[in-house]
Amino acid sequence: MWLDRLDRTTRLVLLSVFLGIIGGLAAQVFLFLMHWANVFFLYGIGHYQTINVLGAHAAVQAPKPFSKLYWWVPVATTLGGLISGWLVYTFAPEAEGHGTDAAVRAFHRTAGRMRARVPLIKTIASAITIGSGGAAGREGPTAQIAAGIGSIVGGFFKLPDDERRLLILIGMAAGLSAIFKSPLGTAIFAVEILYSRVVFEGGALLYTLIGSAVAYALTGYFSGFTPLFVLPHATSIGALTDLPAYAVLGVFAGLLGALLPSIFYGVRDAFHKLRVPNHIKPAIGGLILGVIGIFVPQLLGGGYGFIQFALQGGAGMVVWLLLLLSVGKIIALSLTIGSGGSGGVFAPSLFVGALLGAAFASVLHNLGFNGIDASALAVVGMAALFAGAARVPIASLVMVAEMTGGYGLIMPTMIAVAVSFLVQMALTRHARYPSLYEAQVPTPAASPVYRDEYYRFAAELLRKKEVKLDRDILHSEMVEALERGEGVALRNREEHLYNLKLTAGSPVAGKQIRTLGLDRLHVLIIGIIRGEHEFVPDGGTILQIGDGLIIATKPPGHASFRTLIEPPKVNPDTSNDSDPPPTTLT
């Protein structure tokens, strides 16, 4: 094929331009479908009309909760969840949830491969979910749609895995750029979101920049090049004495950013435990959300209008209401996506952060600190909250500046983002769900994409006994994988490396290694972890209970060795053989 004859860089540049066009067009199609789903479901059935950015900008005050009851909203949200759940779980179960996480998982786990049907199902299901009132963002679906098209293109041209993974990132950047009008920020986001620490997939950045720039240019043709949100006036830092306030806001954003993943995935896990078909779980989530929406319809949808209200200083909303909506959005998002609905988490996170910033500004003003701009605190709150919750500090900083045009707030945003990230990291160090993106890995060394090669080199050195089995090696990513039960392939060989534990009752405990007949099993014990010590054994080493044995063998040898060292199973029917037999009466 002609594309194969091009050098790698030229090929990827051309594909980046192509995916930029596709991402921009896919975003327009998705927005069109979402608009009509909203007209049919939430407005037509639920009799509630969401407020967009321009509507909020023209309004004097934000509508208050509990002022009008929308009794038909649960019908719209439940019906939308039912249709979306049927579509997703019938045709493409991987399309459920927030799409960006699926794209990240495809990069790390499936060599950039996604089924061809995913983009279509994700488009329709997400449009229905959000259009019917689901509290989800449109960026996640667009990211997965464009990333899925990148995967399809890679498969069509039979590109190698490393290039297919890059196409996933390029498509993601293009789709997000078209949605948020943030070409630089989304290009950085696509290479930063893969890891939960401040690490970048630097080799992809050039191509994500091209893809996002093309998508942004195409979006500008349809809707202009103005920022997504409108700041009421030129905002800047004000005085240097205001910086401590932004740092305090960063602390609160970090606290809420640590809470968000726990609630989100806690609700998700609760829905997983429900003994009902997956197809109807989004309808259950939609029903619960709809009941809430009767009284607080402000929590429905992506919430772009209420983000705009927050950027306008809260638009007359008092502190308790701002905090209610901020925390309530976390619940609404969790019900929508955690139940299996299809949508993104970025826009709702911006909602939470913007209203948190507006609430903090209101508290400061009530305390007499009137010199700090409420709009500035809302902007900074958006960036700080998402930077912590999603572990993407650099992308959050740039994206929010581009989405709002608040470039004069770069310095206070940098402070708040850094504080939020550090606070969130500290609070979630031992959390089950430390980040809003479950598919993230800490560093490239923890990604299957890179660690397999690393394991092969390290395992080969261990097998040849060319290195001392010291603590640094044994506590590396390789041994962490071994402790998870993964077999690590040795370089250019059929053998794998395994880690097994010698438990109480093992028949080999107290025996020398040379007496076990490991040659006939084709097993080599290359390392032993004993308490706080690790060493390379020899034939005279006596095995002890509690030893961790690192062995090199083929998979059949692994199974045979497990059988050799496992304690004998106790047959309950013969467990009391020592007791005298019962007397038989004749």
pLDDT in tens, 106-120: 888 887 888 888 888
Which of 427, 447, 471 corresponds to the end of one domain? Answer: 427
Domain shared by 311 and 396, yes or no: yes
Residue the block writes with tokens 């899925």: 148
Same domain, 340 and 473: no
Residues 316-333: pLDDT tens digits?
678 888 999 999 999 999
Looking at residue 331, its amino acid is I
Q: Which two tokens stand for residue 7?
A: 């050098």
Residue 403 and residue 491 in one domain: no
Let me know: does 511 contact 446? Beta carbons within 8 Å.
no
396 and 475 part of one domain = no
**pLDDT category of residue 575 using cuts at 50, 70 and 90:** very low
Q: What pTM was computed for the model?
A: 0.77
CATH code of residue 469: 3.30.70.1450
Same domain, 108 and 225: yes
Total tally of structural domains belonging to the chain: 2
Evaluate whether residue 39 is within a structural domain: yes
Handedness of CA 390, 393, 394, 395 (dihedral sign): positive
Same domain? For 473 and 339 the reply is no
Q: Are residues 405 and 315 in the same domain?
A: yes
- Does residue 375 sit in the same domain as residue 492? no
- As given in the structure block, the two tokens for residue 369 are 């600190």
Residue 433 within any structural domain of the chain: no
Residue 445 lies in a domain: no
Closest C-alpha among 419, 329, 404 to residue 373: 404
103 φ/ψ angles, rounded to the nearest 5 degrees? -65, -40
Average pLDDT over residues 381-389: 96
Distance CA 73, CA 46 (A): 4
Confidence band for 580, pLDDT divided at 50, 70 and 90: very low
In a domain, 457, yes or no: no
**Residue 366: which CATH number?**
1.10.3080.10
- CA geometry: angle 308, 182, 119, nearest 5 deg: 100
- Tell me: the pLDDT tens digits for 160-173? 888 999 999 999 99
How much is the pLDDT for 268?
93
Which pLDDT belongs to residue 577? Answer: 46
- How is residue 88 written in tokens? 């997703």
Strands (E), 226-367: none
Shared-domain flag, residues 336 and 477: no
pLDDT at 585: 36
pLDDT at 295: 94
Query: Has residue 108 been placed in a domain?
Result: yes
Whole-number pLDDT of residue 415:
96
Select from 378, 409, 427 the last residue of a domain. Answer: 427
At 290-308, the pLDDT tens digits run: 999 999 999 999 889 999 9
Q: Is 410 exposed, middle or buried (0-12, 13-18, 19+ CB in 10 A)?
A: middle
Contact 555, 498 (CB under 8 A): no
pLDDT score for 7: 87
The more confidently predicted of residues 566 and 97 is 566
Instruction: Give the per-residue pLDDT at 61.
Output: 80
Region 180-189: what's the mean pLDDT? Answer: 94
Q: How far apart are CA 567 and CA 255, in angstroms?
A: 48
Tens digits of residue pLDDT in 532-574: 777 778 788 889 898 888 888 888 888 888 889 988 876 555 4
In the chain, the percentage of residues whose pLDDT exceeds 70 is 89
Asked if residue 38 and residue 137 are part of one domain, the reply reads yes
**Residue 505 banded pLDDT, cuts 50, 70, 90:** confident
- Are 414 and 541 found together in one domain? no
Q: Over the chain, what is the mean pLDDT?
A: 86
| 378 within domain boundaries | yes
Print the domain residue range for 165. Answer: 2-427
Lowest mean pLDDT among 83-87, 367-371, 419-423, 559-563: 367-371
Q: Is residue 200 part of a domain?
A: yes
Are residue 404 and residue 469 in the same domain, yes or no?
no
Of 427, 451, 475, which residue sits at a domain end? Answer: 427
Residue 449 inside a domain? The answer is: no
DSSP state string for 268-308: HHHHHH-SS-GGGHHHHHHHHHHHHHHH-GGGSS--HHHHH
What pLDDT shows up at residue 318?
85
Token pair recorded at residue 268? 């998700």
